[in-house]
Protein backbone atom coordinates (compact mmCIF):
# COMPACT_ATOMS: atom_id res chain seq x y z
CA UNK A 1 0.00 0.00 0.00
CA UNK A 2 1.44 3.34 -1.09
CA UNK A 3 0.46 6.12 1.33
CA UNK A 4 -0.08 9.66 0.04
CA UNK A 5 -0.38 12.68 2.30
CA UNK A 6 -1.80 15.94 0.91
CA UNK A 7 -0.63 18.84 3.09
CA UNK A 8 -2.96 21.82 3.51
CA UNK A 9 -2.62 25.05 5.45
CA UNK A 10 -4.71 28.23 5.89
CA UNK A 11 -5.90 29.60 2.53
CA UNK A 12 -4.81 26.59 0.49
CA UNK A 13 -6.36 26.19 -2.97
CA UNK A 14 -9.10 23.59 -3.07
CA UNK A 15 -8.37 22.66 -6.70
CA UNK A 16 -5.11 21.04 -5.57
CA UNK A 17 -7.07 18.32 -3.81
CA UNK A 18 -8.52 17.28 -7.19
CA UNK A 19 -5.25 15.42 -7.66
CA UNK A 20 -6.27 13.05 -4.87
CA UNK A 21 -8.99 11.67 -7.16
CA UNK A 22 -6.26 10.31 -9.44
CA UNK A 23 -5.14 7.92 -6.71
CA UNK A 24 -8.75 7.04 -5.88
CA UNK A 25 -9.44 6.08 -9.50
CA UNK A 26 -6.10 4.26 -9.72
CA UNK A 27 -7.36 1.94 -6.98
CA UNK A 28 -10.39 1.14 -9.15
CA UNK A 29 -8.23 0.50 -12.21
CA UNK A 30 -5.86 -1.69 -10.22
CA UNK A 31 -8.82 -3.48 -8.66
CA UNK A 32 -7.00 -3.38 -5.35
CA UNK A 33 -6.13 -0.75 -2.74
CA UNK A 34 -2.86 0.45 -4.21
CA UNK A 35 -3.04 3.89 -2.59
CA UNK A 36 -4.22 5.25 0.73
CA UNK A 37 -4.75 9.01 0.71
CA UNK A 38 -5.16 11.38 3.65
CA UNK A 39 -5.35 15.15 4.11
CA UNK A 40 -2.92 16.51 6.68
CA UNK A 41 -2.07 19.84 8.27
CA UNK A 42 0.40 20.80 10.96
CA UNK A 43 -2.10 20.67 13.83
CA UNK A 44 -5.03 18.88 12.21
CA UNK A 45 -8.68 19.89 12.45
CA UNK A 46 -10.73 22.10 10.16
CA UNK A 47 -8.75 24.00 7.53
CA UNK A 48 -10.31 26.76 5.45
CA UNK A 49 -9.22 27.20 1.85
CA UNK A 50 -9.32 30.21 -0.46
CA UNK A 51 -12.66 29.10 -1.96
CA UNK A 52 -14.45 29.46 1.39
CA UNK A 53 -14.49 25.67 1.65
CA UNK A 54 -13.32 24.00 4.86
CA UNK A 55 -11.84 20.52 4.93
CA UNK A 56 -11.14 18.23 7.85
CA UNK A 57 -7.47 17.36 8.21
CA UNK A 58 -5.46 15.05 10.42
CA UNK A 59 -2.33 16.29 12.22
CA UNK A 60 1.04 15.58 10.64
CA UNK A 61 2.64 14.44 13.87
CA UNK A 62 5.50 12.03 13.25
CA UNK A 63 3.71 10.18 10.46
CA UNK A 64 5.58 9.95 7.19
CA UNK A 65 4.17 8.89 3.83
CA UNK A 66 5.46 7.23 0.71
CA UNK A 67 4.46 10.41 -1.14
CA UNK A 68 3.88 13.87 0.32
CA UNK A 69 2.17 16.53 -1.82
CA UNK A 70 2.04 20.15 -0.66
CA UNK A 71 -0.99 22.07 -1.96
CA UNK A 72 -0.74 25.53 -3.46
CA UNK A 73 -2.20 28.61 -1.84
CA UNK A 74 -1.44 32.31 -1.98
CA UNK A 75 0.84 33.84 -4.61
CA UNK A 76 3.90 33.08 -2.47
CA UNK A 77 2.82 31.17 0.64
CA UNK A 78 4.99 30.98 3.76
CA UNK A 79 4.99 27.84 5.85
CA UNK A 80 5.21 27.64 9.62
CA UNK A 81 8.46 26.48 11.16
CA UNK A 82 6.72 23.27 12.17
CA UNK A 83 5.76 22.46 8.59
CA UNK A 84 9.22 23.38 7.30
CA UNK A 85 10.79 21.08 9.89
CA UNK A 86 8.43 18.24 8.93
CA UNK A 87 9.31 18.54 5.24
CA UNK A 88 13.02 18.56 5.95
CA UNK A 89 12.70 15.42 8.07
CA UNK A 90 10.50 13.79 5.43
CA UNK A 91 13.35 13.78 2.89
CA UNK A 92 14.93 10.80 4.66
CA UNK A 93 11.68 8.86 5.12
CA UNK A 94 9.62 9.62 2.01
CA UNK A 95 9.95 8.33 -1.54
CA UNK A 96 8.50 11.45 -3.16
CA UNK A 97 7.90 15.00 -2.03
CA UNK A 98 5.73 17.02 -4.39
CA UNK A 99 4.18 20.45 -4.62
CA UNK A 100 1.30 21.71 -6.72
CA UNK A 101 1.27 25.29 -8.00
CA UNK A 102 2.63 27.74 -5.41
CA UNK A 103 3.32 24.91 -3.01
CA UNK A 104 6.76 25.06 -4.64
CA UNK A 105 7.47 28.16 -2.54
CA UNK A 106 7.05 26.08 0.60
CA UNK A 107 9.45 23.42 -0.65
CA UNK A 108 11.91 26.18 -1.54
CA UNK A 109 11.50 27.73 1.91
CA UNK A 110 12.41 24.35 3.40
CA UNK A 111 15.50 24.22 1.20
CA UNK A 112 14.24 21.19 -0.73
CA UNK A 113 14.55 22.86 -4.14
CA UNK A 114 18.12 24.10 -3.73
CA UNK A 115 20.11 23.33 -6.90
CA UNK A 116 17.13 21.45 -8.34
CA UNK A 117 14.89 21.97 -11.35
CA UNK A 118 11.34 22.98 -10.46
CA UNK A 119 8.23 24.62 -11.85
CA UNK A 120 5.19 26.46 -10.53
CA UNK A 121 2.29 28.51 -11.90
CA UNK A 122 3.61 30.60 -14.79
CA UNK A 123 2.30 33.80 -13.20
CA UNK A 124 4.63 33.48 -10.19
CA UNK A 125 7.57 31.63 -11.75
CA UNK A 126 9.69 34.79 -11.96
CA UNK A 127 8.93 35.51 -8.29
CA UNK A 128 10.09 32.01 -7.31
CA UNK A 129 13.32 32.42 -9.28
CA UNK A 130 13.99 35.85 -7.77
CA UNK A 131 13.15 34.81 -4.19
CA UNK A 132 15.17 31.58 -4.36
CA UNK A 133 18.08 32.05 -6.81
CA UNK A 134 19.39 28.55 -6.10
CA UNK A 135 16.26 27.01 -7.69
CA UNK A 136 16.48 26.26 -11.42
CA UNK A 137 12.96 27.38 -12.33
CA UNK A 138 11.56 25.99 -15.58
CA UNK A 139 8.58 28.26 -16.01
CA UNK A 140 6.93 26.63 -19.02
CA UNK A 141 6.54 23.05 -17.80
CA UNK A 142 3.45 21.17 -16.71
CA UNK A 143 5.49 19.32 -14.10
CA UNK A 144 9.12 18.62 -13.31
CA UNK A 145 10.68 15.67 -11.54
CA UNK A 146 14.17 16.13 -10.15
CA UNK A 147 15.07 13.04 -8.17
CA UNK A 148 12.86 12.75 -5.13
CA UNK A 149 11.24 16.15 -5.68
CA UNK A 150 8.23 16.70 -7.95
CA UNK A 151 6.66 20.10 -8.72
CA UNK A 152 3.81 21.07 -11.01
CA UNK A 153 2.32 24.12 -12.64
CA UNK A 154 -0.86 25.66 -11.30
CA UNK A 155 -4.45 24.60 -11.01
CA UNK A 156 -5.28 21.49 -13.10
CA UNK A 157 -1.59 20.60 -13.55
CA UNK A 158 -1.75 18.85 -10.17
CA UNK A 159 -3.80 16.14 -11.88
CA UNK A 160 -1.02 15.68 -14.45
CA UNK A 161 1.51 15.43 -11.62
CA UNK A 162 -0.52 12.73 -9.88
CA UNK A 163 -1.00 10.81 -13.15
CA UNK A 164 2.76 10.89 -13.69
CA UNK A 165 3.25 9.46 -10.22
CA UNK A 166 0.79 6.66 -10.97
CA UNK A 167 2.62 5.97 -14.22
CA UNK A 168 5.89 5.87 -12.32
CA UNK A 169 4.41 3.32 -9.92
CA UNK A 170 2.30 1.15 -12.24
CA UNK A 171 3.18 1.97 -15.85
CA UNK A 172 1.67 3.90 -18.77
CA UNK A 173 -1.30 1.60 -19.35
CA UNK A 174 -2.64 2.11 -15.84
CA UNK A 175 -2.07 5.88 -16.03
CA UNK A 176 -3.90 6.06 -19.37
CA UNK A 177 -6.80 4.06 -17.97
CA UNK A 178 -7.03 6.45 -15.03
CA UNK A 179 -6.96 9.44 -17.39
CA UNK A 180 -9.76 7.94 -19.48
CA UNK A 181 -11.92 7.38 -16.41
CA UNK A 182 -11.30 10.99 -15.42
CA UNK A 183 -12.54 11.98 -18.92
CA UNK A 184 -9.34 13.81 -19.70
CA UNK A 185 -8.90 14.86 -23.32
CA UNK A 186 -5.13 14.45 -23.14
CA UNK A 187 -2.71 13.25 -20.48
CA UNK A 188 -0.09 15.97 -20.62
CA UNK A 189 3.59 15.16 -20.32
CA UNK A 190 5.89 17.11 -18.05
CA UNK A 191 7.62 18.84 -20.93
CA UNK A 192 4.42 20.27 -22.38
CA UNK A 193 3.87 24.01 -22.33
CA UNK A 194 1.59 25.54 -19.70
CA UNK A 195 0.01 27.75 -22.37
CA UNK A 196 -2.82 27.01 -24.79
CA UNK A 197 -3.05 28.65 -28.20
CA UNK A 198 -6.86 28.85 -28.01
CA UNK A 199 -6.72 30.55 -24.62
CA UNK A 200 -4.05 33.02 -25.69
CA UNK A 201 -5.95 34.06 -28.81
CA UNK A 202 -8.95 35.03 -26.62
CA UNK A 203 -11.60 35.76 -29.26
CA UNK A 204 -14.39 37.99 -28.00
CA UNK A 205 -17.28 36.74 -30.14
CA UNK A 206 -18.84 33.31 -30.46
CA UNK A 207 -18.43 33.37 -34.24
CA UNK A 208 -14.64 33.73 -34.11
CA UNK A 209 -14.51 31.14 -31.33
CA UNK A 210 -16.55 28.78 -33.51
CA UNK A 211 -14.08 29.24 -36.36
CA UNK A 212 -11.12 28.45 -34.09
CA UNK A 213 -12.86 25.41 -32.64
CA UNK A 214 -13.62 24.23 -36.17
CA UNK A 215 -9.99 24.76 -37.19
CA UNK A 216 -8.68 22.78 -34.24
CA UNK A 217 -10.99 19.87 -35.12
CA UNK A 218 -10.14 19.91 -38.84
CA UNK A 219 -6.39 20.52 -38.94
CA UNK A 220 -5.94 18.11 -41.87
CA UNK A 221 -8.10 20.41 -44.03
CA UNK A 222 -6.57 23.30 -45.97
CA UNK A 223 -8.39 25.73 -43.61
CA UNK A 224 -8.53 28.46 -46.19
CA UNK A 225 -9.94 31.87 -45.38
CA UNK A 226 -13.24 30.94 -47.09
CA UNK A 227 -13.51 27.68 -45.10
CA UNK A 228 -12.97 29.45 -41.77
CA UNK A 229 -15.36 32.26 -42.74
CA UNK A 230 -18.06 29.67 -43.48
CA UNK A 231 -17.52 28.15 -40.03
CA UNK A 232 -18.00 31.61 -38.52
CA UNK A 233 -21.05 32.32 -40.72
CA UNK A 234 -19.44 35.49 -42.06
CA UNK A 235 -18.24 36.68 -45.44
CA UNK A 236 -14.50 36.28 -46.02
CA UNK A 237 -13.94 40.03 -45.78
CA UNK A 238 -15.97 40.37 -42.56
CA UNK A 239 -14.26 37.36 -41.04
CA UNK A 240 -10.74 38.50 -41.84
CA UNK A 241 -11.36 41.95 -40.35
CA UNK A 242 -13.17 40.65 -37.25
CA UNK A 243 -10.54 37.96 -36.64
CA UNK A 244 -7.67 40.42 -36.66
CA UNK A 245 -9.59 42.89 -34.49
CA UNK A 246 -10.38 40.25 -31.85
CA UNK A 247 -7.14 38.26 -31.77
CA UNK A 248 -4.51 40.61 -33.10
CA UNK A 249 -3.44 37.96 -35.63
CA UNK A 250 -4.27 36.89 -39.13
CA UNK A 251 -6.28 33.66 -39.53
CA UNK A 252 -3.30 32.01 -41.24
CA UNK A 253 -0.99 32.80 -38.30
CA UNK A 254 -3.54 31.50 -35.80
CA UNK A 255 -4.02 28.27 -37.73
CA UNK A 256 -0.26 27.77 -37.79
CA UNK A 257 -0.15 28.11 -33.99
CA UNK A 258 -2.98 25.60 -33.58
CA UNK A 259 -1.18 23.16 -35.87
CA UNK A 260 2.10 23.57 -33.99
CA UNK A 261 0.34 23.01 -30.66
CA UNK A 262 -1.36 19.83 -31.90
CA UNK A 263 1.86 18.56 -33.48
CA UNK A 264 3.77 19.26 -30.29
CA UNK A 265 1.31 17.17 -28.29
CA UNK A 266 1.65 14.26 -30.73
CA UNK A 267 5.44 14.46 -30.67
CA UNK A 268 5.47 14.50 -26.87
CA UNK A 269 3.26 11.42 -26.85
CA UNK A 270 6.05 9.64 -28.71
CA UNK A 271 3.87 7.13 -30.57
CA UNK A 272 4.03 8.68 -34.04
CA UNK A 273 6.73 9.34 -36.61
CA UNK A 274 7.52 12.94 -37.52
CA UNK A 275 6.05 12.33 -40.97
CA UNK A 276 2.78 11.07 -39.48
CA UNK A 277 2.56 14.04 -37.15
CA UNK A 278 3.12 16.44 -40.05
CA UNK A 279 0.35 14.77 -42.09
CA UNK A 280 -2.18 14.50 -39.25
CA UNK A 281 -1.80 18.16 -38.26
CA UNK A 282 -2.08 19.57 -41.77
CA UNK A 283 1.53 20.52 -42.48
CA UNK A 284 1.69 18.03 -45.37
CA UNK A 285 5.42 17.40 -44.95
CA UNK A 286 8.07 17.51 -42.20
CA UNK A 287 9.97 20.46 -43.71
CA UNK A 288 6.93 22.76 -43.56
CA UNK A 289 6.36 21.61 -39.99
CA UNK A 290 10.00 22.24 -39.09
CA UNK A 291 9.83 25.82 -40.39
CA UNK A 292 6.58 26.46 -38.47
CA UNK A 293 8.10 25.08 -35.25
CA UNK A 294 11.09 27.38 -35.61
CA UNK A 295 8.81 30.39 -36.13
CA UNK A 296 6.45 29.60 -33.23
CA UNK A 297 8.60 27.72 -30.71
CA UNK A 298 12.12 28.66 -31.74
CA UNK A 299 13.13 24.99 -31.91
CA UNK A 300 12.66 22.12 -34.39
CA UNK A 301 10.30 19.16 -33.84
CA UNK A 302 13.18 16.81 -32.97
CA UNK A 303 14.14 19.04 -30.02
CA UNK A 304 10.57 19.01 -28.75
CA UNK A 305 10.53 15.20 -28.85
CA UNK A 306 13.88 14.97 -27.04
CA UNK A 307 12.71 17.35 -24.32
CA UNK A 308 9.50 15.36 -23.85
CA UNK A 309 11.51 12.16 -23.42
CA UNK A 310 13.71 13.91 -20.90
CA UNK A 311 10.69 14.86 -18.76
CA UNK A 312 8.71 11.65 -19.32
Q: Across the strands, what pairs with 172?
A: none
Output the CA torsion sign for 13, 16, 18, 24.
negative
Q: Across the strands, what pairs with 278?
A: none
HEC assignment per residue over 16-29: HHHHHHHHHHHHHH
Q: Give the CA distances from residue 140 to residues 97, 119, 150, 169, in Å, rounded to whole numbers and listed in that order.
A: 21, 8, 15, 25
C-alpha closest to that of 20 among 48, 39, 41: 39
Q: Which of 26, 69, 99, 101 is catalytic?
A: 101
C-alpha closest to that of 223 among 233, 212, 234: 212
Q: Across the strands, what pairs with 57?
A: 45
> Would you give the DSSP letter of residue 5?
E
Residue 101 among the catalytic residues: yes
Q: If DSSP codes are grouped into helix, strand and coil, which group holds residue 51?
A: coil
How does DSSP assign 266-277, residue by residue? HHHHT-S-HHHH
CA 235/CA 78 separation, integer angstroms: 55
Q: Which residues are catalytic?
A: 101
Amino acid sequence: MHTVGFIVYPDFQLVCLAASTVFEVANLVLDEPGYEVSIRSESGGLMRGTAAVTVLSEPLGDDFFDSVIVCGGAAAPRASEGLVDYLRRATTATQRIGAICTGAFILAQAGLLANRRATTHWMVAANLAQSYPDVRVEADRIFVQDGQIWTSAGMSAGVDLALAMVENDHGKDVARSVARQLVLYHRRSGGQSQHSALLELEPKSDRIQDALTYARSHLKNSLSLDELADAARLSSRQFSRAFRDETGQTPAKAVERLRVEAARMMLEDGRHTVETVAYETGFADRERMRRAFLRVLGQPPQSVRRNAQRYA
